[in-house]
């Protein structure tokens, strides 16, 4: 069965510093990958997704992620974070032909002034 691992439960970073949030998934022939953001007491919002094609995916709010098939990873990056990026970030994966999306346990990003 498909699975997703977000090893970092919390990541503190200073404002204007770069950040990388890690996501690894279990191997699959055909897989689709997503990053969602959740602000406190709100629902999730899509940041970006990888379906096929270029392995570097750009999303909203200056975030990007790189699909690495050999390392089964889909890490999220931002070159310079803002206080407003403080939120919880979820990586999700789905298989071709399925309705089911598997979510990671989330990484809480805390941007410090």
Closest CB to other proteins among residues 13, 44: 44
User: What residues form DSSP beta bridges with 12?
Assistant: 110
Q: Is 80 in the site for other proteins (CB under 8 A)?
A: no
For the chain, the C-alpha Rg in angstroms (whole number) is 13
d(CA 10, CA 55): 26
| Site string (5-44) toward other proteins, x via CB under 8 A | ----x----------------------x-x-x----xxxx
Closest CB to other proteins among residues 35, 81: 35
Q: How far is the CB of 2 from other proteins (least distance, A)?
A: 10
Enter the DSSP assignment of 59.
-
* Contact region with other proteins (CB under 8 A), list: 11-19, 53-61, 68-76, 99-107: 99-107
Instruction: Phi first, then psi: give them for residue 95, nearest 5 degrees.
Output: -100, 155
Nearest to 8 by CA among 88, 69, 85, 78: 88
The CA angle 87-91-96, to the nearest 5 degrees, is 150
Q: Is 55 in the site for other proteins (CB under 8 A)?
A: no
Residues that bind other proteins (CB under 8 A): 9, 32, 34, 36, 41-46, 49, 51, 90, 94-101, 103-106
């Amino acid at each position: 069965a498909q699975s997703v691992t977000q090893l970092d439960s919390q990541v503190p970073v200073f404002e204007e510093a770069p950040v990388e949030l890690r996501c690894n998934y279990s191997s699959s022939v055909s897989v689709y990958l997503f990053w969602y953001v959740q602000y406190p007491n709100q629902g999730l919002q899509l940041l970006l997704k990888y379906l096929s094609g270029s392995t570097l995916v750009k999303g909203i709010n200056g975030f990007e992620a790189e699909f690495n098939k050999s390392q089964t990873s889909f890490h999220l990056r931002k070159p310079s974070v803002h206080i407003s990026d403080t939120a919880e970030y979820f990586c999700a994966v789905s298989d071709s032909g399925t309705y089911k999306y598997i979510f990671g346990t989330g990484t809480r990003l805390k941007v410090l002034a």
